[in-house]
Amino acid sequence: MFFTYVIQSKKDGRFYTGSTSDLRKRLNEHNTGKVRSTKSRGPFVLIYYEACLDKQDALAREKYLKSGMGKRYLKNRLRRFLSLTGQGKGRGRKRKNSVESKE
């Protein structure tokens, strides 16, 4: 069994999506700074995961969840959870070309 997962940093509120064959071990690796890409952003909380039958399915699902459509899917799927925990607001990135009103 393989898993595709989404964790959220308690430090900056950002998400990380990955896949693994041992979900508990991998979460522990993220939280103890053993994963290079998330080393400075821990601790993390697991907010979503899916079980897959094989590694190829898990990797394909991870790739999808990292795409624009996949992020939209996760946003809709997690909307209730994020609103209940107060984590759904103010976490987006500012666009480079956004226009701010001048007063």
pTM of the full structure: 0.77
- 67 domain-assigned: yes
- 103 domain-assigned: no
Q: How many angstroms separate the CA atoms of 53 and 38, rounded?
A: 26
More confident residue, 94 or 9: 9
**pLDDT, tens digit, 9 for 90 and up, residues 8-54:** 999 999 999 999 999 999 999 999 999 999 999 989 999 999 999 99
Q: How many angstroms separate the CA atoms of 56 and 62, rounded?
A: 10
- 96 domain-assigned: no
Question: Domains in the chain: how many in total?
Answer: 1
Helices and strands per DSSP (H, E), number in the chain: 3, 3
- Is there a contact between 8 and 87 (Cβ–Cβ < 8 Å)? yes
**pLDDT, tens digit, 9 for 90 and up, residues 54-90:** 999 999 999 999 999 999 999 898 887 767 666 655 4
- 68 domain-assigned: yes
Q: Collapsing DSSP states into helix, strand and coil, what is residue 5?
A: strand
Query: What pLDDT, on the 0 to 100 scale, is given for residue 26?
Result: 97
Range of the domain at 47: 2-85
Domain at 14, CATH number: 3.40.1440
Q: Residue 97 pLDDT more than 60?
A: no
Q: How many angstroms separate the CA atoms of 44 and 16, rounded?
A: 9
- 38 domain-assigned: yes
Is the Cα dihedral 26, 30, 4, 54 positive or negative?
negative
Q: Residue 98 pLDDT more than 70?
A: no
